[in-house]
Amino acid sequence: MRNIALRLSYDGTGYHGWQVQKTEVTVAETIEQVLKKLCGEEVHVIGCGRTDAGVHALRYCANFRSRTKIPCDKLPLAMNALLPRDIAVSAAVEAPWEFNAILSCEKKEYIYRICNSRVKDPFLRDRAWFYPKPLDAEIMDRAAKAFVGTHDFKAVRSVGTETKTTVRTIHWCNVSRSGNEICIAVCADGFLYNMVRAITGTLVYASEGKLLPEEIPSLLETGDRRLTGPTAPPQGLFLNRIWYPGAVGEMMQD
């Protein structure tokens, strides 16, 4: 029996998130079906996190255990021959038996893209939040810095999944603009349900003057979701980078 880690990417537009569900098509289910054909046995994939319907992954890690004899360097090509065109496996590596894609993860970075233009871009329809009102990236970046550190992030999460604690550590939260695109990058040791999308909505509120960047620490202390910004739509969110120790970490960063 082997424990194999995969590096993959996917366009989440056509899927109801990562996690296998009873009635909806998901990324994990699609990958498991392909691995079942290749390995000749039932396979369960463990993903590095749950992405919602419509959310994308530029880099994603999953692992599975199998008796397959397919070499790791041949596995991506074999899988890609059977996978739909919106999912691609770019690398595979033999992982330690105890490796778990979600529990072994040290930190993750998500990015959120906003198309801030008066004219919508049809090519970004499923890959950015079209927001026609002018946004001030400098004010948003000031507000973003208030999220950095170890805090209780209950005020920027949606109820939906149970968790032992709502305390997380954000390593960086940056906002940049290039032309009409605003990009928000958030790196943390873990994320709550809809946390990045709620942070994004709060940064938009700061740009619009609905709250001050300096008010964010006190808003976090209240733990009241009603006092922060709205949850941004899913299509602008991408899992961008993931960090692990050892060989899996090297595979994810090269």
Which residues are designated catalytic? Answer: 52
What is the Cα–Cα distance from 156 to 162, expressed in whole angstroms?
Answer: 15
Among candidate residues 6, 28, 1, 33, the one with its CA nearest the CA of residue 15: 28
Which of these, 54, 15, 19, 25, lies nearest to 237 by C-alpha position?
A: 54
Quote the radius of gyration of the chain (alpha carbons, Å).
19
Q: What length is written for the chain?
A: 254
Is the torsion defined by CA of 21, 25, 26, 29 positive or negative? positive
Which among 102, 189, 100, 202 is positioned nearest to 142, based on CA atoms?
202
